[in-house]
Amino acid sequence: MDYQPRSGLPQEKKRRDRLIHLACGHPTWAVGYADEVWWSRLAQPDQHCWVEAEGIHKLQALERPKDDPDPKALACYGLLVRSQPHAPEQLLLRFVEDRPVSAVTTAFLAWCNERLAAHGVTALLLIWDNASWHKSQAVRTWLRHHNQTVKHTGQGVRIVPCLLPVKSPWLNPIEPKWVHGKRAIAESDQLLSAAELEARVYAYYGCPLESHLLMPKKVA
C-alpha cells in the first residue's frame, strides 16, 4: 500500500544507479567507490576451499612479541575509480598514521583530487557508506568549499558525494577487493612488520608507495 512505510534501500540504490548512468555519459567524469579498511598483522583471513564444513582449516591468529614496536593493525583509505564503462579501473590507496576521521578523510579527498585532475577528470561521483567521518559537518563543509573553488577557478575535480544505503556493502565493488587482498598477502606462520605489510598491499594492488596520511595537529 502507498501509505505504508517502505525501506529506503530501493530509492537510494536507484539514485546511485541514476548518477552512475549520468557519469558514464560524460567522457571527463568518473565514478569513485571509496572505503576504509583495517589490515591486521595478527588476525588471519578465512581461506576458502572445496571441502566439507568440518574439514575446513582455519588459520590461527599470530602472536605479537612484547617488544614489537609496530601497531597490531593499519588503516588505509581506498578509492576505486572507473572513468568509463570499458576503461581499466584505477585504485588510489593511502595508509593512515592513526585512524579514519573527518580531517584525514578530507586530506585523502584532496590528494585524490590532485591525482584525478592530472588525468583530465573534471567531476567525480563519490560513492561511499554512512561512516560518521563521511557525512560529518567538517567533510560536508570541505566538499562545499572545494566545489566552489573548482567552479570559480576552473581547476580541480568537482566531487559529488552519494551515500549508500545503510548496511549494504554489496553495492560497493571495492569491498570484495579488500577481501581478496587480505587472503593474498596473508602469512600463516610469519608476523609481518608494518612496513612489510604495507609493501605487500601496495604490490598486490599495483599502487605506488605513498607516505601516511597524518592526523592534523591541534592549534593551541
Candidates 129, 123, 159; CA nearest to 141 is 159
Q: Are 131 and 139 in contact (CB under 8 A)?
A: no
Distance of CA 88 to the CA centre of its chain: 18
Residue with cell 557519469: 23
Candidates 100, 175, 90; CA nearest to 135 is 100
Q: What residues does each domain of the chain span?
A: 9-41+70-205
Angle between helices 102-118 and 137-153 (to 10 degrees): 30
pLDDT in tens, the chain (220 residues): 444 454 455 666 677 677 777 777 678 899 999 999 999 998 877 655 554 555 555 555 667 767 788 899 999 999 999 876 666 889 999 999 989 999 999 999 999 999 999 999 999 999 999 999 999 999 999 999 999 999 999 999 999 999 998 888 888 999 999 999 999 998 877 889 999 999 999 999 999 999 999 877 654 3
Residues 6+ apart with CB under 8 A from 198: 74, 95, 209
Q: What is the pTM of this model?
A: 0.83
Superfamily of domain 9-41+70-205: Ribonuclease H-like superfamily/Ribonuclease H (3.30.420.10)
Could you give the CA distance from residue 204 to residue 185 in angstroms, rounded to a whole number?
8
Distance of CA 38 to the CA centre of its chain: 11
Could you give the CA distance from residue 109 to residue 213 in angstroms, rounded to a whole number?
11
- Identity of the amino acid at 54: E
Candidates 80, 65, 108; CA nearest to 176 is 80
What pLDDT was estimated at residue 219?
A: 40
Could you give the CA distance from residue 25 to residue 18 in angstroms, rounded to a whole number?
11
Residue 89: how many CB atoms within 10 A of its CB? 12
Q: Are 128 and 161 in contact (CB under 8 A)?
A: yes
